[in-house]
Amino acid sequence: MNNLISRVIKEIKPLDEEAMGAARNRQNELTKPRGSLGLLEELSIRIAGIRGGMVSSFEHKAVIVMAADHGVVNSGVCLYPQEVTRQMVFNFLDGGAGINVLSRLAGARVVVVDMGVAGGFEPRPDLICKAVGSGTGDMAQGPAMTRQQTLDSIQAGIEVVEGEISRGLDLVATGEMGIGNTTASSAICAAVTGEPVETVTGYGAGLGDEQLAHKVAVIKKALELNDPDPGDPIDVLSKVGGFEIGGLTGVMLGAAAHRIPVVLDGFISGAAALLAAGLEPGMKDYFIAAHLSAESGHGILLKYLGLSPVLNLGMRLGEGTGAALGMAVVEAAVEMLAGMATFAEAGVSRNKRESLS
pLDDT digits (tens, 9 = 90+) for 93-133: 999 999 999 999 999 999 999 999 999 999 999 999 999 99
At a CB cut-off of 8 Å and minimum separation 6, what does 310 contact? Answer: 39, 43, 288, 289, 290, 291, 326, 329, 330
Q: Any idea which of 45-59, 71-85, 264-278 has the lowest mean pLDDT? A: 71-85
Cα–Cα dist 143/109, whole Å: 34
Backbone angles phi, psi at 128, to 5 degrees: -90, 125
Mean pLDDT, to the nearest integer, of 248-276?
98
What global pTM score does this model have? 0.95
299-321: pLDDT as tens digits? 999 999 999 999 999 998 999 99
Choosing among 2.40.30.10, 1.10.150.170, 3.30.450.40, 1.10.1610.10, the CATH entry for 3-55+337-356 is: 1.10.1610.10
Choice among 319, 335, 345, 354 that is catalytic: 319
Domain positions in the chain are 3-55+337-356, 61-331
What angle in degrees, to the nearest 10, is found between the helix axes of 209-226 and 181-193?
60
pLDDT at 31: 94
Arithmetic mean of pLDDT over the chain: 95
pLDDT at 357 over 70: no
Tell me, yes or no, if 42 is annotated catalytic.
Answer: no
pLDDT at 303: 97
| Residue 59 burial (10 A CB sphere; 0-12, 13-18, 19+) | exposed
pLDDT at 356 over 70: no
The CA radius of gyration of the chain, in Å to the nearest whole number, is 21
Tell me the pLDDT band of 355, cut-offs 50, 70 and 90.
low
CATH topology assigned to domain 61-331 = Rossmann fold (3.40.50)
